[in-house]
Amino acid sequence: MIAEIGLAALWLAAALAVLQMVSGGFALRSAEGAPNPMAIYARPAAVVQAVLAVLAFLLLLYAFAITDLSIKLVATNSHSMKPMIYKLTGTWGNHEGSMLLWVGVLALSGGLLAAFEKRLPERTMGATLAVQGFVALGFYAFLLLSSNPFERLPVPAVEGVGLNPLLQDIGLAIHPPTLYAGYVGLSVAFSLAMGALLTKEVNPNFARVMRPWVLGAWVLLTFGITAGSYWAYYELGWGGWWFWDPVENASLMPWLAATALMHSVSVLAARDALRTWTIMLGVLAFSMSMLGTFLVRSGVLTSVHAFAVDPERGAFILGLLGLYIGGAFTIFALRAGAVAEGKRFSATSREGALVFNNVMLSAILAIVLLGTLYPLLTEAFDVRVSVGPPYFNPAAAIFAVPMFLVMAVGPLLRWKEDKPARIQFEMLLVAAVLIAVIALVSFFGNFPLLPLLGLGLAAALAVAAVLPLKGRKLTRVPVATWGMVLAHFGVAVSLFGMACEGAFTQERLAAVAPGGTEQVGDFAVTLQSVTPVAGPNWTAIEARLAVSQNGGEPVILAPQARNFWSPPQATSESALLTRWDGQLYAVIGNQAEDGRWQIRVWWKPFVTFIWYGGLLIALGGVLAIAGRVKVDVKRRKATAMGDARRADLEALGAAAPVPAE
Amino acid sequence: MSQNRLWLWLPLALFAFFAGLAGYMLTQEKDQFVESTMIGEPLPEFALEPAFGGLPGAARSDFVGGKPRLLNIWASWCLPCIAEAPQLEALKAQGVEIIGIAIRDRPEDVANFLGQYGNPYTRIGSDRISEVQLAIGSSGVPETFVIDAKGVIRYQHIGDIREDDVPVLLAELEKAQ
Amino acid sequence: MIRVMLVLLAALMALPVAAQDSMPPAPYAYNQLEDPAMEAEAAALMATLRCLKCQSQSIADSDAPMAGDMRHQVRSRILAGESPAEIRAWLIARYGDYVSYEPTVSASTWPLFAVPVLVILIGAGVLLRRLGKRRSDAGDAA
């Protein structure tokens, strides 16, 4: 029965999405002050739809939990012998389940928006809900027509096929759902942008409504990318943390657009400038998340972590993409000219710096997009080319370096207009740190250009990040400003980790007999023994490595080479020794003919800073949301009190009490 | 202002270009193979040890003189190689000389495989570190190359040989005369 | 629907079908060269060569046996005194540009270099339009 109820819930939710779309559309036709009678259904439809879609997802989760092998999706992706946690995470470790999760989160955000957002004019809200319903409807159609997660098998399977072992990992439990939630947040921002564009209500009020969604999406994307990078780092077994793989790029591109959008929407909220630019970025950010979905699931590009792909699905997503993005860009081209230009500002102002960095972020986005899609373009002419890190790194750096420089001084500038001479001291300080660090590092060794620049920029950015606090009373600094400081400092921390990993990593690959010792950096690594071990659904050989730093007390590391039997696949489980100043990364490989074992050991100084930085950035975003919400709640309370007082005064002054609105 | 308006259409134009390209690529057969760029080039110099006791090893000189031959890259651990074994037998029956190169293989496994699925080869070289495979631009097992009597690589077939590939290979051998 | 399922099953089955040998790896597949300078040269080269059996991975990050054999080729050729450029050229002669991640301007790759230049120009244009003009009329801004 579970599957049937889930399917029914999905169909009902789809029907409600139609209602939401039509009813929201009627709001556009309502006259000023007189709401259209047909428009009142949009909000309740969104709320009920949220309940139904979430219910459908929970039912699928339950089917996975009890390993209901009569459901095809469970039979092809799960196994009764799997640990419970991976049975649950397996729910979204496949195409259909992850789409259902996506739809569930999408409906939930639509419901929240409909239930709690009262600041927008009804017409704009109606248009927003109509767009939101339209987007949701496309995904319901996709699920129900081509990727039904609840399909039954004619005869229940005896046993499930199992989940790809690479995905049986706690990193998978958090990484994809966070990314999906981030994508969904961008879809809400998209709906809001379209609603505002359609009703020409692109103003600070709209920006304040949009901001928490953008910030929330951005925090989730930041966190998701950070988690995904760490997962790839320890799971793929070679110590790489970013491969510029199409799937990774697919998650990076929405993040770049969201970063630009977040800054742009702040300018719109604070200064009523950058109106069309914000709308454009809103459309772009959502386009990038849709594009990412298309690239990952259609199989047009090859990648290490692609889903089981199907061109039919690809065609469906491409159709949705054409409908949403093509439609949005058409409306943009038709309407954006009619949006009045926002407030003006000079080049040397905080807006000026933000515009510069928005352009740089967009340029990096363009490079990543080009590099990712270029192989697709040449394949159309039957030429195969490879675009990889040696292209992406320098090409992105061309724009990233000026961006970091402007990012260092931007927050110090005043809004609207400023004189560079006013922040002379700060600029000199940042420049001095940059040059000193680069000079110092190049004095001690010969390092590649990009890590060297990275080290200098990281130091300069770390100093610059805290400069906005200079001369202010720390207890009175707004929470949102702390968020910015923390996020910018996080960028410096992450950049430092990347540069150190690039410049100072030490590698040791060797065949070692039990008892043998290898040296890497300050560490002596002794292979004590190699023994077979078994887990619930795998067997493995496990090495015991005694690692001693500078002759100190040895620590035991136990990397494994695992063989999963359902589905059969080998993975290498790296073992990590984390120190404050870096990580030792050990992997056990094959046995050589003479009985020695291949081991791979890396000492990666400060590599963990890459992900600490990512977490700091995300935390900065959380603080920014908290700060905005605090201010917002205060403002609402103040308005409510003001209204109450006015009503009281009126009641006292007037003979007959006015009925409350 | 009109010049402004034109700029606003740019995103749509770029998107339309992408959508067209992606749509076209979706209809295309996804080509997973990496083709050798050694077609038309002479076979590189090599001399491999015998892959097992039953047949001699293989060297470049074995391909020179007489008529065109097939160079079959295979391995006993490769499942599609089992599928193509009958087709190799069919080619042998047509009088084609097939020289095998066994990739990363052990003599006992090679002997077992041939005992089980038949032996269409006149010689098999053992390439334990994929040296010759890399030298001729092959990127997997099984692959089959047509080598003409001067020792020049003329044609590459990627993947296992199916029944309808046999006439194609015979025609290529004919062309290489 | 059945076709979808078949595709799914095939994707899952693809792993065992691509069975791997049990042979120990080539000598230099997982072992470094003695000379640190040579090893650094080899490592830098390997990071820019594509693993042919994998998907978007360099041979420096792959456990595929063929990637191991390619690493062996790279290290043993460096040891024999060949330059990284020669080894790259040797591989490109066999597998085409596809095997190399190193960006080079050619008939099939020039847009990769032209577009960033175009992006710089567009970026500069946008910035000049948005920021450059404002300075002059900032005074009369509302």
Q: pLDDT tens, A468-521?
A: 888 888 888 888 899 999 999 999 999 999 999 988 999 998 889 898 899 998
Counting residues of chain A whose pLDDT is more than 90, the rounded percentage is 42
Regarding whether A337 and A234 lie in a shared domain, the answer is yes
The Cα–Cα gap between A45 and C1 comes to: 31
List the single residue in C with minimal CA-CA distance to B106: C23
Contact A287 B15 (CB under 8 A): yes
Contact A332 B1 (CB under 8 A): no
Residue B4 lies in a domain: no
The Cα–Cα gap between A237 and A589 comes to: 10
Per-residue pLDDT band for B170 (boundaries 50, 70, 90) equals very high
Q: For B75-112, write each residue's pLDDT tens digit.
A: 998 888 999 999 999 999 999 999 999 998 889 999 99
Regarding whether A64 and A124 lie in a shared domain, the answer is yes
Q: Over range A434-441, report the average pLDDT.
A: 93
Contact C9 A388 (CB under 8 A): no
Mode of pairing for the β-strands spanning A568-573 and A560-565: antiparallel
Indicate whether A79 pLDDT > 90.
no
Burial A27-66 (b: 16+ CB within 10 A, else e): bbebeeeeebebbebbbbbbbbbbbbbbbbbebbbebbee
> Among partner residues C53, C65, C92, which is closest to B139 by beta-carbon distance?
C53
Indicate whether A122 pLDDT > 60.
yes
Contact B36 C95 (CB under 8 A): yes
Indicate whether A640 pLDDT > 90.
no
Residue A469 tokens read as: 């606090």
Residue A187 tokens read as: 């879809």
Query: Which is nearest to A14 in space by CA: A95, A81, A107, A78?
Result: A107
**Higher-scoring residue by pLDDT: A657, A546:** A546
Measured in angstroms, the CA of C70 and the nearest CA of chain A are apart by 16
Domain that holds residue B72: 47-175
Indicate whether A660 pLDDT > 80.
no
A592: phi then psi, degrees, rounded to nearest 5: -80, 170
Per-residue pLDDT band for C132 (boundaries 50, 70, 90) equals low
Query: Which residues of chain C does B139 touch, with a Cβ-Cβ cutoff of 8 Å?
Result: 52-53, 66, 95
CA angle, A242 then A245 then A248, to 5°:
70
Burial B71-103 (b: 16+ CB within 10 A, else e): bbbbbbbbebbeebbebbebbbeeebbbbbbbb
Per DSSP, helices labelled H in A574-608 are none
Query: Which residues of chain A does C142 touch, with a Cβ-Cβ cutoff of 8 Å?
Result: 343-344
pLDDT of residue A18: 92
Indicate whether A570 pLDDT > 50.
yes
Q: Does B79 touch chain A (CB under 8 A)?
A: no
The Cα–Cα gap between A444 and A607 comes to: 20
Match 């990284």 to its residue by tokens.
C84
Burial class of residue C2 (count of CB atoms within 10 Å of its CB; 0-12, 13-18, 19+): exposed
Q: For A130-167, write each residue's pLDDT tens digit.
A: 999 999 999 999 999 888 888 888 888 877 777 777 66
Regarding whether A173 and A269 lie in a shared domain, the answer is yes
Per-residue pLDDT band for B45 (boundaries 50, 70, 90) equals very high
Contact B8 A314 (CB under 8 A): no
> Among partner residues C16, C48, C99, which is closest to A390 by beta-carbon distance?
C48
Match 């939101």 to its residue by tokens.
A132
Measured in angstroms, the CA of C16 and the nearest CA of chain A are apart by 6
Q: Does B17 touch chain A (CB under 8 A)?
A: no
Residue A429 lies in a domain: yes
Query: Which is nearest to A601 in space by CA: A589, A609, A617, A613?
Result: A589
Per-residue pLDDT band for C139 (boundaries 50, 70, 90) equals very low
Instruction: Tally the C-alpha atoms within 13 A of residue C83's C-alpha that lie toward its C-beta.
Output: 3
The Cα–Cα gap between B71 and B137 comes to: 13
Residue A520 lies in a domain: yes
pLDDT of residue C10: 36
Indicate whether A463 pLDDT > 90.
yes
Query: Which is nearest to A53 in space by CA: A129, A94, A92, A109?
Result: A109
Q: Domain C23-102: which CATH class?
A: mainly alpha
Q: Over range A379-391, report the average pLDDT.
A: 86
Q: Which residues contact B62 (CB under 8 A, 6 or more apart)?
A: B99, B123
User: Do C25 and C18 meet the contact criterion of CB atoms below 8 Å apart?
Assistant: no
Q: Over range A93-120, report the average pLDDT.
A: 88
Q: Over range C118-128, report the average pLDDT.
A: 87
pLDDT of residue B11: 86
Kindly report the CATH number assigned to the domain that includes residue A220. 1.20.120
> Among partner residues B35, B79, B130, which is closest to C17 by beta-carbon distance?
B79
Query: Which is nearest to A363 in space by CA: A462, A283, A467, A257?
Result: A257
All partners of chain B with 3 or more CB pairs under 8 angstroms: A, C
Measured in angstroms, the CA of C81 and the nearest CA of chain A are apart by 21
- Please confirm whether the linkage preceding B142 is cis (ω < 30° from 0): yes
Match 């007082």 to its residue by tokens.
A645
Q: Which residues contact A342 (CB under 8 A, 6 or more apart)?
A: A268, A271, A272, A273, A274, A275
Q: For A299-327, write each residue's pLDDT tens digit.
A: 677 655 545 556 678 888 889 989 999 99
Q: Where are the domains of chain C?
A: 23-102, 105-142
Measured in angstroms, the CA of C27 and the nearest CA of chain A are apart by 9
Domain that holds residue A281: 169-346
Contact B26 A294 (CB under 8 A): no
Most A-contacting residue of B4, B5, B8 (CB-CB within 10 A), to test interface: B8
Most B-contacting residue of A370, A379, A383, A386 (CB-CB within 10 A), to test interface: A379
Q: For A8-24, write each residue's pLDDT tens digit.
A: 999 999 999 999 988 88
Alpha-carbon distances, residue A228 vs A100, A291, A618, B124, B146 (angstroms): 21, 19, 14, 46, 46
Secondary structure of chain B in HEC code, one letter for each residue: CHHHHHHHCHHHHHHHHHHHHHHHHHHCCCCCCCCCCCCCCECCCCEECECCCCCCCEEHHHHCCCCCEEEEEECCCCHHHHHHHHHHHHHHHCCCCEEEEEECCCHHHHHHHHHHHCCCEEEEEEECCCHHHHHCCCCCCCEEEEECCCCEEEEEEECCCCCCHHHHHHHHHHHCC
Q: Which residues contact A391 (CB under 8 A, 6 or more apart)?
A: A371, C101, C103, C112
Query: Which residues of chain B does C95 touch, with a Cβ-Cβ cutoff of 8 Å?
Result: 34, 36-37, 137, 139
Q: For C11-51, write each residue's pLDDT tens digit.
A: 333 333 345 666 778 888 888 888 889 999 999 999 999 98
Predicted model pTM: 0.90
Residue C94 tokens read as: 């066999």
Q: Over range A523-548, report the average pLDDT.
A: 89
Phi-psi region of A244 (alpha: psi -120 to 50; beta: other; left: phi over 0): left
> Among partner residues A146, A161, A386, which is closest to C50 by beta-carbon distance?
A386
Query: Which residues of chain A does C40 touch, with a Cβ-Cβ cutoff of 8 Å?
Result: none
Rounded to the nearest integer, the mean pLDDT of chain A is 87
User: Do B90 and B165 meet the contact criterion of CB atoms below 8 Å apart?
Assistant: no
Q: For A227-272, write each residue's pLDDT tens digit.
A: 989 988 988 888 889 988 888 899 999 999 999 999 999 999 988 8
Query: Which is nearest to A46 in space by CA: A136, A142, A141?
Result: A136
Regarding whether A252 and A143 lie in a shared domain, the answer is no
pLDDT of residue C61: 85
Contact B15 A325 (CB under 8 A): yes
Regarding whether A268 and A179 lie in a shared domain, the answer is yes
Indicate whether A439 pLDDT > 80.
yes
pLDDT of residue A247: 84
pLDDT of residue B110: 92
**One-letter amino acid for residue B38 of the chain:** M
CA angle, A182 then A114 then A118, to 5°:
110
Q: With both helix axes pointing from N to C terminus, report the angle between A479-504 and A609-653 in degrees, rounded to the nearest 10.
A: 170
The Cα–Cα gap between A241 and A607 comes to: 9
> Among partner residues C17, C19, C52, which is closest to B34 by beta-carbon distance?
C52
All partners of chain C with 3 or more CB pairs under 8 angstroms: A, B
pLDDT of residue A654: 58
> Among partner residues C1, C25, C116, which is closest to A395 by beta-carbon distance?
C116
DSSP state of A594: T
Contact B128 C26 (CB under 8 A): yes
Q: Which residues contact B144 (CB under 8 A, 6 or more apart)?
A: B70, B71, B72, B73, B156, B157, B161, B169
DSSP state of C29: T
Residue A359 lies in a domain: no
Most C-contacting residue of B139, B153, B156, B158 (CB-CB within 10 A), to test interface: B139
Regarding whether A486 and A598 lie in a shared domain, the answer is no
Alpha-carbon distances, residue A166 vs A236, A252, A601 (angstroms): 8, 21, 21
Residue B151 tokens read as: 């020792």
The Cα–Cα gap between C142 and C129 comes to: 18
ipTM of model: 0.87
pLDDT of residue C20: 61
Indicate whether B27 pLDDT > 90.
no
Contact A346 C55 (CB under 8 A): no
CA angle, B50 then B52 then B55, to 5°:
65
Q: Which residues contact A446 (CB under 8 A, 6 or more apart)?
A: none
Contact C94 B77 (CB under 8 A): no
Residue B2 lies in a domain: no
Q: Which residues contact A508 (CB under 8 A, 6 or more apart)?
A: A518, A519, A520, A525, A600, A601, A602, C32
Kindly report the CATH number assigned to the domain that includes residue B78. 3.40.30.10
> Among partner residues B4, B11, B25, which is closest to A337 by beta-carbon distance?
B4
Mode of pairing for the β-strands spanning B121-127 and B98-103: parallel
Query: Which residues of chain B does A298 touch, with a Cβ-Cβ cutoff of 8 Å?
Result: 22, 26
Q: Sign of the CA dihedral B101, B102, B106, B107?
A: negative
Alpha-carbon distances, residue B62 vs B140, B144, B151 (angstroms): 23, 16, 9
Alpha-carbon distances, residue A633 vs A117, A535, A638, B175 (angstroms): 13, 51, 9, 82
**One-letter amino acid for residue A24 of the chain:** G
Regarding whether A517 and A463 lie in a shared domain, the answer is no
The Cα–Cα gap between A151 and A72 comes to: 6
CA angle, C42 then A397 then A583, to 5°:
55
User: Do A542 and A531 meet the contact criterion of CB atoms below 8 Å apart?
Assistant: yes
User: Do A600 and A589 meet the contact criterion of CB atoms below 8 Å apart?
Assistant: yes
Element (H, E) at A457: helix A449-466
Query: Which residues of chain B does A376 touch, with a Cβ-Cβ cutoff of 8 Å?
Result: 21-22, 25
Indicate whether A31 pLDDT > 70.
no
The Cα–Cα gap between B98 and B63 comes to: 10
Per-residue pLDDT band for A659 (boundaries 50, 70, 90) equals very low
Total structural domains in chain B? 1
Secondary structure of A107-165 in HEC code, one letter for each residue: HHHHHHHHHHCCCCCHHHHHHHHHHHHHHHHHHHHHHHHHCCCCCECCCCCCCCCCCCH
> Among partner residues B4, B12, B22, which is closest to A300 by beta-carbon distance?
B22
The Cα–Cα gap between B25 and A8 comes to: 35
Residue A630 lies in a domain: yes
Look at residue A531 and give its three-state secondary structure: strand
The Cα–Cα gap between A552 and A545 comes to: 14
Per-residue pLDDT band for A552 (boundaries 50, 70, 90) equals confident
Total structural domains in chain A? 4
